[in-house]
Amino acid sequence: MSPISGCDSSILINSGKNPEKSALAHAGVKGFDVIESAKSRLEVVCQGLISYSDIIALAARDAISLVSRIIAIQLYYSIDK
């Protein structure tokens, strides 16, 4: 069992006997490479300050914002004027 359990970024754990990253429940999850790349770049600038959970939270926030804007634009242009 991994020493880390149940945290927001536990899906990124890729060590131990049953790594979260390869769990059947996570089979469709993609983008690990993007998160790893962001983490590597941030570590150069601010080593040890930014966690995987921080990156995932900010990515989720930005994705929601982007999708909300796309939906708003689609609704705006679908209204008969």
31 is in an annotated binding site: no
- DSSP annotation of 12 reads G
Answer yes or no: is 36 a known binding residue.
no
Q: Which two tokens stand for residue 34?
A: 């993007």
**51 labeled part of a ligand binding site:** no
Tokens of 58: 């900010």
Distance of CA 25 to the CA centre of its chain: 16
Instruction: Name the binding residues.
Output: 6, 8, 10, 20
Instruction: Name the binding residues for Ca(2+).
Output: 6, 8, 10, 20
